[in-house]
């Protein structure tokens, strides 16, 4: 009887693994098609869409690099993403600290306001934001996009920071207070260094979100000198047709920095999730 149940479980496990393998292959097909097409000529891509390229031809990448003016758009993306992520980490960690530590009704109300920022999409406020950017003379400036990216991503970051700060022993801060530390010194010297796992999580999630943001730069950056990568990719979508052998290399160049970033940072987000689970 026991052997029969073990065999059934083994069969079910094999079936599940086969299903997952098939799903993984199906998920990889578009990626495979995207990558192999970048090494083909337009004629080869049309005649043999799923076949491997006859030779590795990097001309399409060189052409895409030049058409996109890649160094310029990469710099704009890097400035926006790096500055916005830094602002999100600083503002949200400082905002979450009193919400997590002080059990006052006002703090509960403030936390509910932040939660509202998560539940209500900022696209609903596009017109007021647009008017505000014009009045502040921040249209067509990277500063305006950075400020928008900061404030639309702060609510979720506050939610993450508040939950993690609640797991840090309060006795550490009490000991620092006894030694004569003020509230700011306690936060920066005691609490903030212990937030490394959740900081890594916030940095990764917001970097992916802000780097891939297309709508905000499209609306608030009107000069090509201020373009980001996705805007340059969008410029190459024709009204009636698209040259996929030019379009796909641009997509690869846009995604490649994120892939490299995620490969190096994934261990930190896994560590942050497991640490939060153990402490919780």
**Token pair recorded at residue 32:** 């495979």
Give 122-179 pLDDT, tens digit per residue: 888 888 888 999 999 999 999 999 999 999 999 999 999 988 888 888 888 888 888 8
* pLDDT at 276 (0 to 100): 46
**Token pair recorded at residue 22:** 């098939």
Instruction: Flag whether pLDDT at 227 surpasses 70.
Output: yes
Residue carrying structure tokens 């980490």: 89
* pLDDT at 277 (0 to 100): 42
Question: What's the whole-number mean pLDDT along residues 190-197?
Answer: 88
* pLDDT at 261 (0 to 100): 83
DSSP-derived secondary structure for 207-269: HHHHHT--HHHHHH--SGGG--HHHHHHHT--SS---HHHHHHHHHHHHHHHHHHHHHHHHHH
Give 85-112 pLDDT, tens digit per residue: 999 999 999 999 988 888 778 878 888 8
The CATH architecture to which 60-279 belongs is Orthogonal Bundle (1.10)
Helical (H) or strand (E) element with 119: helix 105-119
In terms of average pLDDT, the best of 50-54, 99-103, 211-215 is 211-215
CB–CB of 111/97 below 8 Å?
no
CB–CB of 53/39 below 8 Å?
yes
Q: Is 206 helix (H, G, I), strand (E, B) or coil?
A: helix
Which is higher by pLDDT, 183 or 80? 80
Q: What is the rounded CA–CA span in Å between residue 269 and residue 197? A: 7
The residue ranges of every structural domain in the chain are 60-279
CB–CB of 56/249 below 8 Å?
no
How many Å from the N-terminal Cα to the C-terminal Cα in the chain? 40
pTM to 2 decimals?
A: 0.82
């Amino acid at each position: 009887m026991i052997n029969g149940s073990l065999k059934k479980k083994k069969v079910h496990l094999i079936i599940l693994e086969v299903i997952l393998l098939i799903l993984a292959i199906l998920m990889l097909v578009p990626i495979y098609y995207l990558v192999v097409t970048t090494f083909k000529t337009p004629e080869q891509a049309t005649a043999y869409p799923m076949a491997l390229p006859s030779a590795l031809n990097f001309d399409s990448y060189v052409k895409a690099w030049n058409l996109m003016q890649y160094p310029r758009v990469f710099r704009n993306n890097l400035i926006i993403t790096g500055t916005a992520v830094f602002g999100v980490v600083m503002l949200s960690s400082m905002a979450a600290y009193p919400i997590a530590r002080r059990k006052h009704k006002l703090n509960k109300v403030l936390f509910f306001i932040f939660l509202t920022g998560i539940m209500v999409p900022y696209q609903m406020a596009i017109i007021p934001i647009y008017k505000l950017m014009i009045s502040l003379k921040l249209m067509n400036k990277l500063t305006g996009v950075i400020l928008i990216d900061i404030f639309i991503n702060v609510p979720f970051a506050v939610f993450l920071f508040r939950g993690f700060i609640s797991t840090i022993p309060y006795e550490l801060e009490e000991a620092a207070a006894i030694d004569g530390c003020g509230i700011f010194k306690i936060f920066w010297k005691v609490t903030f260094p212990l937030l490394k796992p959740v900081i890594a999580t916030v940095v990764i999630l917001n970097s992916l979100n802000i780097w891939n943001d297309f709508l905000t730069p499209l609306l608030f950056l009107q000069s090509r000198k201020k373009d980001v990568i996705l805007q340059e990719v969008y410029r190459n979508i024709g009204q009636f047709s698209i040259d996929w052998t030019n379009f796909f290399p641009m997509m690869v160049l846009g995604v490649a920095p994120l892939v490299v970033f995620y490969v190096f940072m994934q261990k930190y987000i896994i560590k942050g999730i497991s640490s939060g689970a153990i402490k919780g």
